[in-house]
Amino acid sequence: MTKDIKHVHGNTKIKLAKFLSKKFASVLFIIFKIFFPKAKSSSNEILISRATYAPWKIDHKFMSIFNRVNNLTLLDYPRLYTFYFLSKQIKKLKGDILDIGCMKGGVGILLSFMNTNGRVMLFDTFEGFLDKENLHKNNIFKFEGLDELKKTIRGYKLKNTFVYKKYFPNEVNNLRIRKIKLCHIDVNTYVSTKRTFYYVKNKIVRNGIIIFDDYGVHGVEKVTNFVNRLIKKEKENFVFIQNYFGQCILLKK
Ligand SMILES: C[S@@+](CC[C@H](N)C(=O)[O-])C[C@H]1O[C@@H](n2cnc3c(N)ncnc32)[C@H](O)[C@@H]1O
């Protein structure tokens, strides 16, 4: 019989912590299934990490940006921090930043606060989903405040930051987008996600980043399945990182 390895915090404490987190996760999943009965138990669970580090709590610069964009996005701390953390590292890279499906603009504005080189371009139909799929009907996530968003950007004095009312990637040829260094794709439907990816794929620079939102989120399985197919098809072109916070991050090789 192999002997137990000693844990730094003591084996009893760790066993208890593991036991409790497993139980909490199972109970939470039962409650989750009551609200979302169609979620497959075979491929889903409530994720509780062993890590507890929450860097956003002590990062004052992030918190000051967060306070300005919090009401302008559906994204949570970890997903926004991912943008903050990554955009810091590609500040000087040449190319444009695209936030596609920007809705109220919070992510694009955060990216603009961090950027020092190239345009930040925010796109939305500002009419909701034009390719209505299952749960994504036209009246869902419909934000019609284009002028309001333009005013917010002016108010924050963000230079080189532009908002476009477009059904992406239609009608964007005249915008002269040649090189993209970071792109956020948050358009929810299969058709728009796929068309957007293939537009961006041809323009993303080496070491550039594409971030898919809704990867692994219940109700948006078509995005997860599309990205899962890309993981096989595009492995020569990208490194794929699943961050388990509802995003899949692609790094251009
Ligand atoms: C879930 S919302 C985006 C949330 C937003 N990124 C945030 O940070 O809160 C999805 C948005 O995608 C937009 N959308 C869907 N398909 C689109 C397309 N092909 N082109 C531009 N916007 C699109 C919708 O109008 C909607 O505002």
Q: Where are the domains of the chain?
A: 1-52, 55-252
In whole angstroms, what is the distance from residue 76 CA to residue 246 CA?
A: 10
Ligand 1 binding pocket includes 187 (Cβ within 6 Å): yes
CATH code of the domain occupying 55-252:
3.40.50.150
Ligand 1 binding pocket includes 82 (Cβ within 6 Å): no
Measured in angstroms, how far is the CA atom of residue 142 from the centroid of ligand 1? 8
pLDDT digits (tens, 9 = 90+) for 42-101: 999 999 999 999 999 999 999 999 999 999 999 999 999 999 999 999 988 999 999 999
Residue 192 CA: which ligand 1 atom is closest? 19
131-162 burial: b if 16+ Cβ within 10 Å, else e: beeeebeeeebebeebeebeebbeeeebeebb
Model pLDDT, residue 1: 55
Shortest-distance Cα residue to atom 6 of ligand 1: 102
User: What's the mean pLDDT when you consider all of the chain?
Assistant: 95
Residue 127 CA: which ligand 1 atom is closest? 25
Would the pTM of this model clear 0.85, i.e. be above it? yes
DSSP string, 172-209: -GGG----EEEEEE---SHHHHHHHHHHHHTTEEEEEE
Is 129's pLDDT higher than 70?
A: yes
Model pLDDT, residue 2: 64
The strand pair at 247-252 and 238-242 is best described as: antiparallel
